[in-house]
Amino acid sequence: MLSNFHFLVGKPHYESFTNACLEAEKSLVVSPATCAILTRRALELAVKWVYSFDSALKVPYQDNLSSLIHDNVFLSIIDEDLLPLLRYIVKLGNVAVHTNSMITREEAILSLHNLHQFVSWIDYCYSDEYTATDFDESLLPIGEEKRERPEELKDLYERLSSKDKRLEEMMKENEQLRALLTAKREANTKEYHFQVDELSEFETRKKYIDLDLKLAGWEFKKDVIVEYPVVGMPNQEGVGYVDYVLFGDNGKPLAVIEAKRTTADPNKGKQQAKLYADCIEKMHGQRPIIFYTNGFETYIWDDLNYPARRVSGFYNKEELSLLIDRRTMKKPLKNVQINDNITNRYYQKEAVLAVCDALEKKRRKALLVMATGSGKTRTAISIVDVLTRHNWVKNILFLADRKTLVTQAKNSFSHLLPNLTLCNLLDNKDNPEESRMVFSTYPTMMNAIDEAKRKDGKRLFTVGHFDLIIVDESHRSIYKKYRAIFDYFDAILLGLTATPKDEIDRNTYEVFDLENGVPTYAYELDQAVQDGYLVDYRTIETKLKFLEEGIHYDELSDEEKERYEETFDDEVGEDIDSAALNEWLFNDDTIDTVLRDLMEKGIRVEGGDKLGKTIIFAKNHRHAERIVERFDQLFPEYKGGFARVIDYSVNYYQTLIDDFSDRNKWPQIAVSVDMLDTGVDIPEVVNLVFFKKVRSKSKFWQMIGRGTRLCKDLFGVGQDKTHFLIFDYCGNFEFFRENPKGIEGKAVESLTERLFNAKVEIIKELQHLQYQEEEYIAHRNELIDEVLAEINKLNEENFRVRQHIQYVHKFKNWTKWDSLTAIDVNEIKEHISPLIVPLNDDELAKRFDLLMYTIELAKLQTKNATKPIRSVIRTAEALSKLGSIPQVMEQKYIIEKVQTEEFWSEADIFELEAVREALRDLVKFLEKETQKIYYTNFKDQILEVKENGPMFDVNDLKNYRKKVEHYLHEHRDQIAIYKLRNNKKLTVQDLKTLEDILWKELGTREDYEKEFGDTPITKLVRQIVGLDPQVANEAFSEFLSNERLNINQSRFVKLIIDYFVKNGVMDKKVLQEEPFKTVGSIVELFKDNMDDARKIISIIDEINKNSEDIVGA
């Protein structure tokens, strides 16, 4: 019988995989699942053959099939369009072996087709004579399909795998032929290009949607019917064919799926899917859930309950059945009974009812702002209790950013909801499959989504597994860093935070689909204090000279100068910045001053005999240790037990926390580093010492929250805790009075991301006309090959990769890199770079790569690169001292050359690349620079002491500035505001309208002048709403289209436009500041054409003037 693989027969080199290909094809008559397994095995043998005969390839750290096909060098050898085909074979084989899903004949045929493509490529590369052959389905055997049991298929797979030779053995056996066949591949691939067959739309559907359904546990022909006929469609025949209908165990339809081409907008199928659902409802008496998809983007529409929303995949059968059942099982949340044993305070009940009200209004997200100590966790428990009793939720996920918070939350839920089965994912003893509620940190859940399996081997945490996700301490950085979790699960989202509502980042409100500054419910510290549920605080804010100004040699006494000279190396210099204090310089007198203050002024208990429980927030572990050491020196009578370090570096730290939590035990002072800042509830705490700078608003309020809890009889019977003290030595309160929103930390790009992005930027810059020479084109192509290899390595079964699969496939295409746009680069940075798997490479080498790529990019963009160049020069100088190392000696010429100014002024990117390649593997020989630690005892000085009350005033949403900003942003289309935003002059009537709004509706003229001084109303409005981008571009249009401008002149004009869009008006002084300063001054940039400079200034003046001029005034 003829075979699609007959062309392999008789070619002795291919013996190791030829029979496997023939057997895989023959096995189609046995069963599609057997064919899928044997096709995967044939692929594995063929891939190993390539490794054993091609000298360009080395065995990766793992020699399983997935690792082999994703190896960088392998990917650079094969045709880029082959990788998705190989992945399909692997994925289908895995489904056959590890799941109970039925494999169809069509899927097995597609897998054979893909195998045919790969072995054809082998023949194209390594044979003396290659003739292209088409895959012919008519040659495939036909017989009655057999359904084999999963254990039989698994046994077959394991028996076949056990017979395979190890790859190292194969490589040794074929050592003599490796060079010959490698040369043949290189010659053959230069002569002509291997053409991979294009997949049809049907095959594309098989590739994406069918497999996604199988991974969700659906079985075709049993509970998935393809091309399902329906009657009642509004067409001439009255008939339609649904792409997929998913059925439940009772034979009732659970869902319809309308599939569109991958290039089409899935929303095109929305109405069609609804009509299908209408027909099926009439036919079966049950309305199905609606899905519509293009294979990349999938939407779910439960149109009896919610609008359509995007989801990351398909629900499994149990989850869809539950959605259908809830239509009748769900009880209204209008008049819920709240369990007083869980929450008995009025505001906690209001919070529960506010969430219920939001859910009844079809909202799927809620944000609760509740002061630390007011019972956020109890409120969340009460919400879970209500929603489970009313059949709104079954499975719940609780996420927190620290292990201790996860453990505490689980314990609280366990105590108050004892009948709810719980699992802490951090504890191997717990079983998540048998638990209704799962508790986890974010990183643990990121891993568990792909790795956690049910007993039957299927994925446990599917798209619809959780009905409710509770996020403890919701703020922007969490959602940015771990967004993949929230995009993956389709669940109601409940956020909890103690950060005052007016200071929560706008982006956090956007995550919850809420108006800025308006959470679902808020109960803040000032109200809690007023109600008597929390206590307020007083601050003692002390400025110490060294912490404010640093240490300066000239200001020391003669004796201290002598000690300064004895203590410090010359490189320290005569001036030490304040940032060094408690980082690498620990001054005893500074610490002693703080400790004496605390012991003298701190709140005391036991009739004043003992300092009350106190937390000192230290900068780092070494700082914490020094504080305790100094305390023991100053107060030896406490015998070393009164003050203790409590942080994650201490063994058995939980025992210390337990002792600190007991009012009858020591320690009284806990010196903490990032442990007691949040989540530890100790009512007895009456003193807090802020001995480190804090710039995150959320962290600042969490730290304050350590002291807010009530404590009965703390000072004796009937003498309760009324307030607590905060000692601030680092200007934190002063900072937050001036900067109410603080500075939230940005999500840091990984080294791998930055490297990948740098290569992409260089690829884009090398598109420029001036680089279209052979050498530059070749270098650009090399970089493209490198980034494509990284993209091709991505595991498409990983849930994060699947969320961005559209972009992964888009940028796998070599032709897409022919000419990258700015939009392309942004898409790559947003959707591809965060997914790139770190190379198993030396970190120092990669850091040096990034340094050199940064310089190369600056060279291409004609930007200044002084800082990275200095780093390279320092590296070369350090390597110069290691000449006895042979590898260093080999690069003597380059090491010496890069230390000269001439090199950097004249080097092109090829010389820079040569430096990168020569030195990247040498930096590992350099010792990592470590900052020397110093302990000193210079006399510090108290500059200022202020005692203040709490900062409640900055938390008030009703303040005038906020109301003005909110009104102007919400009423941009009001005629006067519209004119200012669009650079049009106002009339007298327009001005009067604005005065009435700002001086009557939103407040008084006195309020305005108190907040904004003598700023004209029209100018203020423009500053707040900005200038319309289109209008700003039109104002400078002659410069944007002016081909005479060089790249820096053009950038300068665009920066001006961006400034006007954001700020509305421009003080020309800013042109001498960043970001303009980096590009250059206007005089320098336009020195050859000052008319252009004058014209730019004239336009700036005109835009500013239009914000204040009144027509007819």
Domain containing residue 621: CATH number: 3.40.50.300
Residue 956 has a pLDDT of: 40
Tens of pLDDT, residue by residue over 124-161, are 999 888 888 888 888 888 766 555 555 566 566 666 66
Single residue among 294, 329, 364 that ends a domain in this structure: 329
Q: Are 29 and 138 within one domain? A: yes
1062 — pLDDT class (breaks 50, 70, 90): confident
Residue 744 has a pLDDT of: 57
320 — pLDDT class (breaks 50, 70, 90): very high
Q: Are 25 and 173 within one domain? A: yes
Check pLDDT > 90 for residue 595.
Answer: yes
Check pLDDT > 50 for residue 953.
Answer: no
Q: Are 507 and 361 within one domain? A: yes
Residue 1027 has a pLDDT of: 92
Let me know if residue 990 belongs to a domain. yes
Check pLDDT > 70 for residue 847.
Answer: yes
Helix 32-53 to helix 150-162 angle (10° resolution) is 20
Check pLDDT > 60 for residue 167.
Answer: no
Tens of pLDDT, residue by residue over 784-825, are 999 998 998 888 878 888 888 888 988 988 888 989 988 899
Q: What is the largest CA-CA distance in the chain?
A: 103
Check pLDDT > 60 for residue 614.
Answer: yes
For 661, the token pair is 């939590």
For the chain, what percentages of helix, strand and coil (3-state, to nearest 5) are there? 55, 10, 35
Please classify residue 778 by burial: count the beta carbons closer than 10 Å to its beta carbon, then call 0-12 exposed, 13-18 middle and 19+ buried.
Answer: exposed
Query: 10 Å Cβ neighbour count for 336?
Result: 19
Tell me whether strands 536-544 and 521-523 are parallel, antiparallel or unpaired: unpaired
Tens of pLDDT, residue by residue over 723-779, are 999 999 999 999 988 777 676 555 568 899 999 999 999 999 999 999 999 999 999
Tens of pLDDT, residue by residue over 453-479, are 888 888 899 999 999 999 997 666 677
Type of residue found at 1039: F
Contacts of 106 by beta carbon, 8 Å cutoff, 6+ apart: 206
CA distance 918 to 156: 50
For 360, the token pair is 């009844």
Expressed as residue numbers, the domain containing 446 is: 346-531
Let me know if residue 579 belongs to a domain. yes
* 621-635, 731-745, 843-857, 889-903: least confidently modelled range: 731-745
Let me know if residue 177 belongs to a domain. yes
Q: Are 527 and 389 within one domain? A: yes
Let me know if residue 745 belongs to a domain. no
Whether pTM exceeds 0.75: no
Instruction: List C-alpha distances in Å: 610 to 422, 552, 598, 642, 757.
Output: 41, 38, 12, 10, 58
Residue 958 has a pLDDT of: 43
Residue 43: closest CA among 118, 101, 151? 118
CA distance 207 to 112: 13
Q: Are 99 and 176 within one domain? A: yes
Q: Are 174 and 39 within one domain? A: yes
CA angle, corner 538, sides to 533 and 544, nearest 5? 150
Single residue among 837, 869, 885 that ends a domain in this structure: 837
Let me know if residue 932 belongs to a domain. no
Q: What is the mean pLDDT of residues 64-68?
A: 80
Q: What is the mean pLDDT of residues 55-84?
A: 78
Residue 133: closest CA among 116, 151, 109? 116
626 — pLDDT class (breaks 50, 70, 90): very high
* 409-423, 429-443, 662-676, 926-940: least confidently modelled range: 926-940
Q: Are 732 and 831 within one domain? A: no
Q: How many structural domains does the chain have?
A: 8
Q: Determine if residue 345 is left, alpha or beta; phi over 0 gives left, psi from -120 to 50 gives alpha, anything else beta.
A: beta
Q: What is the mean pLDDT of residues 881-908?
A: 92
CA distance 813 to 828: 13
Let me know if residue 569 belongs to a domain. yes
CB 75 within 8 A of CB 789: yes
Q: Are 1009 and 1070 within one domain? A: no
957: helix, coil or strand?
coil
Query: 10 Å Cβ neighbour count for 966?
Result: 16
Tens of pLDDT, residue by residue over 184-234, are 888 877 766 777 765 554 555 666 788 788 878 888 888 999 999 999 999
Please classify residue 108 by burial: count the beta carbons closer than 10 Å to its beta carbon, then call 0-12 exposed, 13-18 middle and 19+ buried.
Answer: buried
Which 8-state DSSP code applies to residue 300? Answer: E
Q: Are 1039 and 974 within one domain? A: no
Check pLDDT > 60 for residue 407.
Answer: yes
Residue 83 has a pLDDT of: 82
Single residue among 837, 869, 903 that ends a domain in this structure: 837
Check pLDDT > 60 for residue 840.
Answer: yes
CATH of the domain at 216: 3.90.1570.30
Mean pLDDT of the chain: 88
Location of structure tokens 């075709």:
220
Q: Are 876 and 1017 within one domain? A: no
Identify the H or E element spanning 38: helix 32-53
Check pLDDT > 60 for residue 166.
Answer: no
For 980, the token pair is 């200012």
Residue 161 has a pLDDT of: 60
Please classify residue 620 by burial: count the beta carbons closer than 10 Å to its beta carbon, then call 0-12 exposed, 13-18 middle and 19+ buried.
Answer: middle
Instruction: List C-alpha distances in Å: 257 to 314, 407, 459, 694.
Output: 10, 41, 21, 51
Type of residue found at 1030: Q
Tens of pLDDT, residue by residue over 74-100, are 888 887 778 878 888 988 888 887 766
Type of residue found at 746: K
1043 — pLDDT class (breaks 50, 70, 90): low
Residue 957 has a pLDDT of: 36
Q: Are 61 and 79 within one domain? A: yes
CB 492 within 8 A of CB 346: no
CA distance 1030 to 982: 9
Contacts of 929 by beta carbon, 8 Å cutoff, 6+ apart: none
CB 935 within 8 A of CB 584: no
Q: Are 585 and 631 within one domain? A: yes
Q: What is the mean pLDDT of residues 163-191?
A: 69
Please state the separation of Cα 263 from the chain's center in Å. Answer: 27
Residue 270: closest CA among 252, 297, 248? 297
Which segments of 516-636 are extended strands (E)? 521-523, 536-544, 551-552, 575-576, 585-587, 604-605, 610-611, 613-617
For 229, the token pair is 């006929």
CB hemisphere CA count around 334 (13 angstroms): 2
CA distance 91 to 85: 10
Let me know if residue 940 belongs to a domain. no
Type of residue found at 439: F
Let me know if residue 1097 belongs to a domain. yes
Residue 954 has a pLDDT of: 38
